[in-house]
């Protein structure tokens, strides 16, 4: 049980149950988070507590409850303590793990790296990288789209964010990719000690690999200012003249590269699945790409890909790249009238909101027109669609992510045709960020 509310209040306690000893509901979440959340919603409503890997968490469901926590008007919740419980040893210092004045200082500096002018340059640099990588893709009846897209988005990230990885061979880049995966998957470790063979130890080792990798390139990026994000973080400063230290640059690069390629990968993979299963949408998107008349679209031209944008938004709804976000109460507070004592961890679940029939008619159906101007189902509630979070911690790279995804999809549509069995359902693993365990097979043909 969570602590009861003070006797002199009329607040209700948070209901809930612990589940299985020690592991609680962790395995239920990994297998099927939507089923777990729906059962909690049906039994307890918007707010309940459950045990996850030995720790009690308040599960926050539905747009009203999510809005209260994410907007955080009474400043009772912090990001740092929440996320640090899961990924602190692996992504410490990342913007998502900072709060208050420290978060504001870092965000003000980092915003200089995500201006519209820099975004335009990033899109220009994106096109040749994507075109070159897609030349290596091979046709097949069971082409594994997810690992191919993950390799592509990591290549994009190292090129756009790092300015390339000179001196690194394919084997080292593969180790870097494996290290990112290890760090992310360590978040749901039940055994949280550096024991051989555990996800936790693999995560700790992965963080060390990433740290060594970025520190090797740091002196060159400090020495010369270029347009890549790594160099930009080494040189930019806020209006007050504040700059990042070496440790801060490395911390931000590790977190940003993880966020930039992991989340984009699952969205692109989901888009390939549904476009492969819905040829009418695939051809509608392809027609818009052909109409641009270029294989190197500008940022402004990407805005003309209206159907691709609708599909992207629908796929962000169907498979949220970040299914839950973590917070911790640093003082006594409430969520929807329920008493939440200081020290409580909270798991806010936008992925559940995205599948609520109360807000999304036939929520499991692929229907990009939900986001069309004449429907805008996402506007029924301010927090009905929240793939990038909300409040002061809303994703700083959301516009880059949208541009990256649309650029890659534009190239895919001009280069390949693909189909997916209409009955196919991706076997998603939610050990951390979602990914298809079968690699997301598609029938791929070069145009």
Which residue blocks in 186-278 are alpha helix, DSSP H? 199-223, 229-235, 246-277
Residues in CB range of 142: below 8 A, 6 or more apart: 441, 442, 443
Query: What Å distances lie between residue 109 and 101, 106, 162, 233, 247, CA to CA?
Result: 12, 5, 18, 8, 15
Q: Which residue has the tokens 């969205």?
A: 267
Report the distance separating Cα 162 and Cα 20, nearest Å. Answer: 45
Q: Which residue has the tokens 């940003």?
A: 256
Q: Which residues pair with 78 in a beta bridge?
A: 328
Query: What Å distances lie between residue 401 and 178, 307, 316, 321, 406, CA to CA?
Result: 22, 17, 11, 12, 9
Q: Which two tokens stand for residue 39?
A: 């059962």
The answer to the question of whether 234 is labelled as a binding residue is: no
Q: Which two tokens stand for residue 176?
A: 């870097």
DSSP for 388-418, written as a single string: T--GGGS-TTHHHHHHHHHHHHHHHHHHEEE
Is the separation of the CB atoms in 154 and 162 below 8 Å?
A: no
Report the distance separating Cα 429 and Cα 442, nearest Å. Answer: 18
Query: What Å distances lie between residue 139 and 135, 147, 206, 295, 436, CA to CA?
Result: 11, 15, 33, 20, 20
Report the distance separating Cα 20 and Cα 107, nearest Å. Answer: 40
Is the separation of the CB atoms in 253 and 214 below 8 Å?
A: yes
Report the distance separating Cα 272 and Cα 419, nearest Å. Answer: 9
Q: Which two tokens stand for residue 280?
A: 């009418």
Q: Which two tokens stand for residue 381?
A: 């509630």
Report the distance separating Cα 192 and Cα 52, nearest Å. Answer: 13
List residues forming the annotated binding site for heme. Answer: 395
Binding-site positions read 395
């Amino acid at each position: 049980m969570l602590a009861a509310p003070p006797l002199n209040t009329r607040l209700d306690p948070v209901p809930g149950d612990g589940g299985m000893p020690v592991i609680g509901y962790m395995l239920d979440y990994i297998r099927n988070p939507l089923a777990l959340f729906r059962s909690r919603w049906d039994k307890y409503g918007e707010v309940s507590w459950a045990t996850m890997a030995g720790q009690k968490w308040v599960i926050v469901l539905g747009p009203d409850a999510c809005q209260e926590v994410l907007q955080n008007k009474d400043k009772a919740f912090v990001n740092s303590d929440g996320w640090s419980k899961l990924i602190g040893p692996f992504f410490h210092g990342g913007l998502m793990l900072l709060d208050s004045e420290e978060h504001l200082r870092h965000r003000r500096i980092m915003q200089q790296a995500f201006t519209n002018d820099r975004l335009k340059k990033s899109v220009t640099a994106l096109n040749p990288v994507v075109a070159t990588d897609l030349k290596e893709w091979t046709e097949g009846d069971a082409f594994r789209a997810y690992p191919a897209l993950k390799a592509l988005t990591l290549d994009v990230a190292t090129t756009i964010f790092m300015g390339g990885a000179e001196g690194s061979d394919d084997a080292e880049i593969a180790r870097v990719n494996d290290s990112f995966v290890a760090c992310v998957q360590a978040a749901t470790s039940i055994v949280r000690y550096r024991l051989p063979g555990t996800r936790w130890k693999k995560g700790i080792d992965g963080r060390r690999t990433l740290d060594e990798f970025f520190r090797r390139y740091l002196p060159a990026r400090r020495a010369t200012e270029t347009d890549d994000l790594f160099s930009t973080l080494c040189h930019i400063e806020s209006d007050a003249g504040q700059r990042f230290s070496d440790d801060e640059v490395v911390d931000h690069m590790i977190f940003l590269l993880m966020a930039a390629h992991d989340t984009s990968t699952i969205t692109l993979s989901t888009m390939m699945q549904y476009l492969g299963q819905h040829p009418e949408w695939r051809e509608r998107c392809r027609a818009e790409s052909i109409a641009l008349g270029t294989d190197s679209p500008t940022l402004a031209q990407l805005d003309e890909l209206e159907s691709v944008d609708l599909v992207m938004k629908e796929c962000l709804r169907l498979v949220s790249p970040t299914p839950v976000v973590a917070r911790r109460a640093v003082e006594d507070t409430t969520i929807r009238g329920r008493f939440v004592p200081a020290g409580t961890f909270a798991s806010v679940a936008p992925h559940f909101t995205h599948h609520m029939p109360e807000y999304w008619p036939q929520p499991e159906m692929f229907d990009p027109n939900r986001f069309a101007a004449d429907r805008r189902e996402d506007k029924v509630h301010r927090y009905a669609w929240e793939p990038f979070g909300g409040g002061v911690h809303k994703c700083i790279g959301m516009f880059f992510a949208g541009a990256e995804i649309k650029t890659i999809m534009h190239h895919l549509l001009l280069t390949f045709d693909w189909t997916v069995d209409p009955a196919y359902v991706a076997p998603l693993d939610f050990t951390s960020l979602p990914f298809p365990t079968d690699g997301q097979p598609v029938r791929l043909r070069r145009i």
